Structure 1
Amino acid sequence: MARAGASVLIVEAAHANAGASGQNAGSLHFQIERRFLEQGEAKAAEAAAITTLSRMAVDDWRGLEQALGADLHVHMHGGLMVAETAAEVALLERKAARERAAGLSAELVDGAELRRIAPYLSERVVAANHMADEGHADPRAVTPAFLAAARAAGATLAEQTRVTAIARAPGGFAVTLTGAGAGTVRAGQLLIAAGIWSAGVGALVNVHLPLFPVALQMNVTERVSPFLPHLIQHVGRRLSMKQAHAGNVLIGGGWPSRMAAAADGRFDLTRRPELLAPSLAGNLAVATAVVPHVAGLNLIRSWTGTTAITADQYPLVGAVPCVPGLFVAAGGSAFTLGPTFARLIAAQMGGGSAAAEAEAALAIAAPARFDHLNSFMGG
């Protein structure tokens, strides 16, 4: 938006990259995720629509380092979603067919070809969906690079600053800020991109943003020589694994941690979630079963973080119909699809001929699908 000539203020309650943007594992997972497949064939077929965004994201990530003029440690050497049983292989076959129909480079590999591509895999793995474009990047580099580019284009950052009130005003909104950047600012348009805090910010505009906090945990091993060039996922079990630029192996895949409870019975988003030992053990058991070499590595750190998901597990990205000028970008997949969301949202907010195309591309994530929740809200 700044490059397009807009006056942009970024309001950050803490400091940039303090939340899920910097705590995630940096996976670039363009295949249809296991969380959609485990809900049955109808959901898996419906989820194929998100491959349109994945196809765009492949191109966006391939050009991102050049666009931002920064080394983001982007490695797109391919990804494997593995299977251990005949039923899981059948699931992979159906998934790959949907992905190929959408223009993604998914192929089922097994036998000698699988061992050639990934000799580090356990003999328990009988097949895998291979997607040549998948990989990973460094979350600790990506957000600062975006921020630097935005500021170079004229955007202003207000850190340690909270939004405490939002009122409708002529031509848009009056936003009350407290903290380091205290004051009242006027804006023609607002974009809420606050992760787990997005629903609370939406309440200041008198709308429901149906986002639910989810606490997860991740693990990282010591640094070792390169042996794992691919992003590894599992079609039947929770697993995400890759070897980072520095040599550490990152192990996760959606294993839960425990959110703290507040006195009013709600979840306390201000406190870090508690690590769960069964999740740690379960995650590492799957990892070592799939890639036996991991069993000999030292685990040096585990951490927890909180993300937000919607009831249907698709992201929430686009215009909020009942409040003209209000936009949101939240609800999962926000590292993999984040650069694409940014580009499309900027086009929507900028108006003109590109806005309609961006809106169509974001249809599966559009807030309008939850408009019934706001039939008594807004205004």
Structure 2
Amino acid sequence: MNDTYDVAVIGGGLLGCATAYYLARAGAGVLLLEKNQIGRHASGQNAGSLHFQLEYRMIEQGRKAAREAARALPLHLDAITAWRDLPQEIGEDCGVVQNGGIMLAETPHQIGLLTEKAELERSLGLDVTLLEGPALREHAPYLSTKVTAAAYMPHEGKANPRLVTPALARAAAARGAEIRVRSPLTELIRGAGRWRLGCADGFRARAQTVVIAAGVWTDQVAGMADVRLPVTPVALQMLATARTAPFLPHLVQHVGRRLSLKQTAEGNVLIGGGWPSAFVIREGRTDVDSPPGLRHSSITGNLDAASVIPGIRPLPVLRAWSGMTTLTPDQLPLIGEVPRRPGLYAATGGSAFTLGPTYARLLSETILTGTASLPLGPYSPARFGFLNAA
């Protein structure tokens, strides 16, 4: 064995780097292992939305599914403050802007969904206001006349995904965390009251506690500890337009269609919202080590959904790219200690970019003190404990 640590964090995305930061800030001896480069995967490939309202994917399956997804809203409320304070806390700007967000409706049915969603969110403490008529036009003059209502949330916004994760890694390292890149984990075994870790580059270590923050590789890492976690990789794609003058101050979503829009500080419009890309399949299995391929139908469908903002139509699309994220069967996050595996924690699922700083802080509190400042019971891996017999 080369080294011994209090906590080993597996995964160098936003969630892993933020967890390493909070733990190191509290004085823990932290090792962070990343198989590639910091922020190379989902954390650097998403569009950087900070969406605290319930997303389209959370409500498209009906009231029951929406109410289940709403169990994570306490985390959303916490994340509003977490993102507001993050730049000052780590001393880097990271492109965090919280100018507000709106979710659109075009038809009477969609207005009904929007109203019901807003009532649910307000009952759980989210500041959401319904806008119609002149109030909507005054607030968002860039919208098509087809849009008849919108739910406005003042704290939504964006961050620059290419800046946030490296900044958190630097903040963690400045507080003593050891960060190893290009060091894929190959062994995770419990013995003599500690976890033994082995990497493909020959590095070996021991740790009292291990945090799996490995995104789409969560199930693979958990499998090394003989644990099954029901996390599903999801392949998505996004678009970026040419630069134009500032005209879109808000994060824009849609209650009845897959759509997420925002304008960067440089003037490009980023267009997404959950449109699928195509996984690479090898020997009948999903290959999460290969970038998903683009789908032409997703590009055209995404641009059609974006037509609710006429100013986007003349803008040429400069780039389309794909990325991956993870979801759990109930769409709730997976945060906490794994049953029957002392000192093994996992964090993934849900809106892991938007909620990443909150996940990381709450998980760090749990590891350091045995409890978190918000209840994590609804998101515990224990709810899937029936999948593990040993």
The whole-number CA distance in structure 2 between the counterparts of 1:122 and 1:28 is: 23
Deviation at residue 338 of structure 1 after TM alignment:
0.2
Structure 1's consecutive aligned runs of 4 or more residues displaced over 6 angstroms after TM superposition are none
Task: Give aligned pairs, total.
Answer: 368
Instruction: Give the equivalent residue in structure 2 for 1:101.
Output: 123
Q: Which secondary structure state, in structure 2, belongs to the residue aligned with residue 347 of structure 1?
A: helix
Contact (CA 8 Å) 2:259, 2:273: kept in 1 or not? yes
Matched, 1:364 2:378: yes
Instruction: Give the equivalent residue in structure 2 for 1:320.
Output: 338
Percent of residue pairs bearing the same amino acid type: 49
Instruction: Give the equivalent residue in structure 2 for 1:155.
Output: 177
Deviation at residue 356 of structure 1 after TM alignment:
4.7
Q: Deviations over 1:42-98 (max 9, x none)?
A: 121222221111000001111010011001111111100000011111111111111
Contact (CA 8 Å) 1:193, 1:328: kept in 2 or not? yes
Instruction: Give the equivalent residue in structure 1 for 2:100.
Output: 78
Contact (CA 8 Å) 2:34, 2:181: kept in 1 or not? yes
Q: 1:235 aligns with which of 229, 244, 255?
A: 255
Q: After TM superposition, list the pairs within 5 Å mapping 1:129-144 onto structure 2.
A: 129-144=151-166
Change in CA separation of 1:269 and 1:298 when aligned onto 2, cut-off 3 Å: same
Change in CA separation of 1:215 and 1:356 when aligned onto 2, cut-off 3 Å: closer
Instruction: Give the equivalent residue in structure 2 for 1:47.
Output: 69
Q: 1:35 aligns with which of 53, 57, 65?
A: 57
Q: Which secondary structure state, in structure 1, belongs to the residue aligned with residue 270 of structure 2?
A: strand
Which has the higher relative contact order, 1 or 2, with Cα contacts under 8 A spaced 6 or more apart?
2
The whole-number CA distance in structure 1 between the counterparts of 2:298 and 2:44 is: 21
Q: Deviations over 1:223-258 (max 9, x none)?
A: 111100000000000000000121110000000011
Contact (CA 8 Å) 2:68, 2:330: kept in 1 or not? no
The whole-number CA distance in structure 2 between the counterparts of 1:225 and 1:68 is: 31
- Give the TM-score, by structure 1 length: 0.95
Deviation at residue 171 of structure 1 after TM alignment:
2.4
The whole-number CA distance in structure 2 between the counterparts of 1:299 and 1:356 is: 44
Instruction: Give the equivalent residue in structure 2 for 1:275.
Output: 294
Instruction: Give the equivalent residue in structure 2 for 1:259.
Output: 279
Mean CA deviation greater in 93-102 or 248-257: 93-102
Contact (CA 8 Å) 1:22, 1:139: kept in 2 or not? yes
The whole-number CA distance in structure 1 between the counterparts of 2:299 and 2:386 is: 39
Instruction: Give the equivalent residue in structure 2 for 1:219.
Output: 239
Which structure 1 segments of 5+ residues have no match?
none
Q: After TM superposition, list the pairs within 5 Å mapping 1:53-92 onto structure 2.
A: 53-92=75-114
Contact (CA 8 Å) 1:307, 1:332: kept in 2 or not? no
Instruction: Give the equivalent residue in structure 2 for 1:112.
Output: 134
Deviation at residue 213 of structure 1 after TM alignment:
1.1
Instruction: Give the equivalent residue in structure 1 for 2:387.
Output: 373
Instruction: Give the equivalent residue in structure 2 for 1:250.
Output: 270
The whole-number CA distance in structure 2 between the counterparts of 1:49 and 1:350 is: 25
Q: 2:358 aligns with which of 333, 340, 347?
A: 340
Deviation at residue 363 of structure 1 after TM alignment:
2.6
- Give the TM-score, by structure 2 length: 0.93
The whole-number CA distance in structure 2 between the counterparts of 1:171 and 1:301 is: 50
Instruction: Give the equivalent residue in structure 2 for 1:204.
Output: 224
